[in-house]
Amino acid sequence: MTCLEIVCPCGIDVVSSVFDVLNQYQVSLEAIESNQAGYLYVTISKVEFSDLKQMLGALRCNEQIYDARTVDVVPSELGRRELQLLLNQISYPVILIDRNGLILQTNQAVSYVCRCLMGDLIGQPLGNWVKGFSITRWLGRDNGRPEIIEVYLGGRAYRAYVEPLVDNLSLSHLPSALMSFRSDSQFIPDLDLASIRDSFAPFGLIAHDPEYIRIIEQIKEIASLPRSVLIYGEVGTGKRFCAQLLNHFRGNSAGDMTVISGPIHDEALDEQLLDLAASRPEMVLVYQIESFTSEQILRIIAQMHFVAQAVYTSLLSPEELIARYGEVSFYSAFGQIIRLPPLRERPEDSVQLAQAWLNEYFISKGAQSPILNRSVQQFLKKCQWPGNISQLLQVLRDTIAHTGLRAWSTKDIRYANQHANADTAICGLLDKDYHQAMADFEKLLLSYYYPQFPSTRALAKKLGLSHTAVAKKLKEHKIT
């Protein structure tokens, strides 16, 4: 194909004289369009160079045509390429379809999920890849209206947002609808979690557990009605992440959040507090308040009236903090208190986090990400994760360094921190009385081995106990 740009004021006379010239050289016309300036862009079948030269000369003889030349692309193709570049920036799958349900354009994320090249998808019926959606039925309902539907894409469950591109979907070959797919773990009503990809959320925001989803909703609410907040929880549960999320919900950039972290010398803290009073930042995160002295933390709290939103994180519980700072200081400092549940209390999140991390990793390597199989999912759910999300991410990184780009079995998972944590926990037993220490040790032993022997029979065999004794003890210690 050859593309011609004909520089002229667009009008019926010019178009008809262009057609005459094309006719004269017996070239077939593939497409014609004009840009805002009125220039004509004509796509024709391939012509011999000598004919092309003469044809351009003939076009230029027309006094209404200022110039005629060959170009690499016509404006509509340029628009399509621009759109493709934009689509590829979107990390979740997006598909453009026509009113016959044929795929017109997709992004890289679709080809990763469907495990095929993008070129293999174009022009194919959507139904070959997406189950649970019928374009005929959708068009039948009020000629297609925006809708959220549960579908399967490449065998994975998604919520698809279907949106019509024009009011009257009568054009048969042009894009009629746009479908964007979000996984369940990225869905909270009125909140587009998939769009929350920032420096602090490189593989998105994952929230599957209902309690955790409620926390995200609380954070969103605080963003609109600011009040000082204490976020506490075990190490690596995502306290800093939630502070960054709150900053994001407030419409701030990462630079708008000032972080104060200890331990710090009094003079350095004085300087930071002076800066704070001068710059009055939008948001301040006081990270791990237990790393400051009690006197320092009271001084920090006193300075917080300069900032719109203050967030404090802590590894300690409210009871422990009250014992340190006193009830009055505690309640006057924190308008809201949020406990982040550890990963073992939201086991489904550990699977969703692992899958999302894996997807991102494989995409970054230009490969298709495997779906974690059932036994790996069970394994992840049963691990205790004393280091929570930070530990999970570390284990994922260690595992991939070991396996490379292949699907995992439970044996591959490098859940290696268990020894270190078990050692610390065993030392802790020495402070307890005989009965408590024995009960705690039993629990530790069962939690330690259960992820690796995730059935009561396998665990019983490992520990040399009967199947019923193990089942009873697991129930007693609430190990699931």
Ligand X SMILES: Nc1ncnc2c1ncn2[C@@H]1O[C@H](COP(=O)(O)OP(=O)(O)OP(=O)(O)O)[C@@H](O)[C@H]1O
Residue closer to ligand X by CB (options 207, 289) is: 207
Query: Is residue 386 close enough to count as binding ligand X by CB under 6 A?
Result: no
CA 250-253-258 angle, to 5 degrees, is: 90
Query: Is residue 399 close enough to count as binding ligand X by CB under 6 A?
Result: no
Which position among 35, 390, 417, 452 is part of the footprint of ligand X (CB under 6 A)?
Answer: 390
Query: Is residue 376 close enough to count as binding ligand X by CB under 6 A?
Result: no
Query: Is residue 195 close enough to count as binding ligand X by CB under 6 A?
Result: no
Binding mask 297-326 for ligand X (x = CB under 6 A): ----------------x-x-----------
Rounded CA Rg of the chain: 31
Query: Is residue 205 close enough to count as binding ligand X by CB under 6 A?
Result: yes
Residue closer to ligand X by CB (options 288, 377) is: 288
| Selection from 6, 4, 54, 12 nearest residue 29 by Cα | 4
Size of the chain in residues: 480
Q: How many CB atoms within 10 Å of residue 71?
A: 14
Query: Is residue 250 close enough to count as binding ligand X by CB under 6 A?
Result: no
Query: Is residue 342 close enough to count as binding ligand X by CB under 6 A?
Result: no
Residue closer to ligand X by CB (options 386, 451) is: 386
Which long-range contacts does 247-250 make (Cβ < 8 Å, 24+ apart)? Answer: 247/282, 247/283, 247/285, 247/309, 248/196, 248/198, 248/200, 249/219, 249/220, 249/223, 249/224, 250/223, 250/226, 250/282, 250/283, 250/308, 250/309
Which position among 235, 264, 439, 445 is part of the footprint of ligand X (CB under 6 A)?
Answer: 235
CB of 211 to ligand X, least distance (A): 12
Query: Is residue 206 close enough to count as binding ligand X by CB under 6 A?
Result: yes
Query: Is residue 429 close enough to count as binding ligand X by CB under 6 A?
Result: no
**DSSP code of 125?**
B
Residue closer to ligand X by CB (options 111, 355) is: 355
User: In sequence order, what are the beta bridge partners of 34?
Assistant: 40
Q: How far is CA 11 from CA 31, 33, 63, 69, in A?
A: 17, 12, 13, 19
Which long-range contacts does 327-330 make (Cβ < 8 Å, 24+ apart)? Answer: 329/298, 329/301
Query: Is residue 236 close enough to count as binding ligand X by CB under 6 A?
Result: yes
- Find tokens 């959220």 and name the residue: 148
Contacts to ligand X from residues 345-364, by CB under 6 A = 353
Query: Is residue 238 close enough to count as binding ligand X by CB under 6 A?
Result: yes
Q: What are the φ and ψ backbone dihedral angles of 258, each rounded to 5 degrees?
A: -90, 135
- Find tokens 């709290």 and name the residue: 301
CB of 358 to ligand X, least distance (A): 13
Which position among 208, 240, 248, 381 is part of the footprint of ligand X (CB under 6 A)?
Answer: 240
Which position among 182, 208, 239, 346 is part of the footprint of ligand X (CB under 6 A)?
Answer: 239
Question: Six-digit token pair at 465?
Answer: 């106990």
CB of 188 to ligand X, least distance (A): 11
Which spans of this chain sit near ligand X (rule: CB under 6 A)?
Answer: 200-201, 205-207, 235-241, 288, 313, 315, 353, 389-390, 393
